[in-house]
Structure formats: C-alpha cells, structure tokens
C-alpha cells in the first residue's frame, strides 16, 4: 500500500497566537459509516476555515490535497467551452431548437410515474447550491 504524506506548516500570526509556530507531520481523522469526517483543528487553522466554510479537494493523479475555497469562486474548466459550443451550434442551426412533442412528454411521464423522489434526502457527491 502506497501512502502519500504531506508536510504541513503553520506560521503564527496575530490571529493564531495560541498555535505552535510550526506544525509538521501527518494529521489524521476517521471516516464515519456515512463517509463523513471531522477536519482536525490544526488543519482548519492552516486552511483558515471555520464551521460553515467550504473546503475543496484537488485531485492530482493518485493524490488529493485539501484546500480552502473561502472567498474563491468555483470555476469549472469545461463549462465555458461547452457554453461556447452551444452558442455557436445554436447560431448555426436554430432549426434544431424545437418544442417537446406531446408523445415525448407522455413517454417521460409514463417512465417516471412510479419514481419516488425525496426532496429532503441528502445528495451524494459534490454539490454547490
């Protein structure tokens, strides 16, 4: 089993007077049965996050880095090119935009008639609302 360790350093400033000048090593936490974890205090301090803030997971090959996204705007690198593709395609082929037929709507309703949706159920995966 290969494990990748990151060295973490925390430099004190006025707001972090009670922290050690430098923290180094691996900090761990345990996943619950629901794959949740508590972000340890030292990690929260390094990231500068508080309860309610969002954190991000940068996936780079087989490694994952935990980062603060406080104040950062999420940018999906595929979104702009996709929207540009749609704009160009719709400009060149406006005839492709059509209404749903009654038959199509009836088919969708028939396929989903017995599908129960719990609007209060937790959502798996990364979701920003």
For residue 44, is it within any domain? yes
For residue 4, is it within any domain? no
105 and 86 within one domain: yes
Distance from first CA to last CA of the chain, Å, rounded?
Answer: 37
For residue 18, is it within any domain? yes
pLDDT of residue 127: 64
pLDDT of residue 6: 34
Residues in a beta bridge with 65:
58
pLDDT of residue 107: 96
pLDDT of residue 74: 62
Quick count: other Cβ atoms within 10 Å of Cβ 47? 19
49 and 94 within one domain: no
For residue 119, is it within any domain? no
Give 43 or 9, the one with higher predicted confidence. Answer: 43
25 and 50 within one domain: yes
For residue 2, is it within any domain? no
Whether the predicted pLDDT of 109 surpasses 90: yes
84 and 59 within one domain: no
Instruction: Print the domain residue range for 83.
Output: 79-112
For residue 127, is it within any domain? no
Encode pLDDT of 15-55 as tens digits.
444 344 335 578 888 988 888 888 988 888 888 888 888 88
For residue 123, is it within any domain? no
Beta strands in the chain (DSSP E): 55-60, 63-68
| pLDDT average, residue stretch 10-19 | 38
For residue 73, is it within any domain? no
Encode pLDDT of 60-99 as tens digits.
888 888 888 876 666 677 888 999 999 999 999 999 899 9
Whether the predicted pLDDT of 111 surpasses 90: yes
Look at the chain and report how many structural domains it folds into. Answer: 2
50 and 27 within one domain: yes
The Cα–Cα gap between 14 and 125 comes to 36
62 and 40 within one domain: yes
Whether the predicted pLDDT of 59 surpasses 90: no
pTM reported for the whole predicted model: 0.41
61 and 30 within one domain: yes
């Amino acid at each position: 089993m290969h494990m990748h360790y990151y060295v973490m350093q925390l430099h004190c400033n006025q707001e972090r007077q009670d922290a050690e000048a430098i923290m180094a090593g691996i900090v761990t936490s345990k996943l619950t049965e629901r794959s949740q974890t508590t972000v340890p205090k030292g990690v929260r301090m390094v990231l500068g996050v508080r309860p309610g803030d969002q954190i991000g997971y940068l996936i780079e090959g087989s490694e994952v880095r935990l980062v603060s996204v406080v104040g950062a705007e999420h940018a999906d690198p595929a979104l702009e090119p996709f929207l540009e593709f749609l704009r160009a395609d719709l400009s060149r082929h406006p005839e492709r935009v059509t209404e749903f037929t009654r038959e199509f709507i009836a088919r969708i309703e028939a396929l989903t008639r017995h599908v129960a949706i719990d609007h209060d159920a937790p959502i798996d995966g990364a979701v920003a609302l």
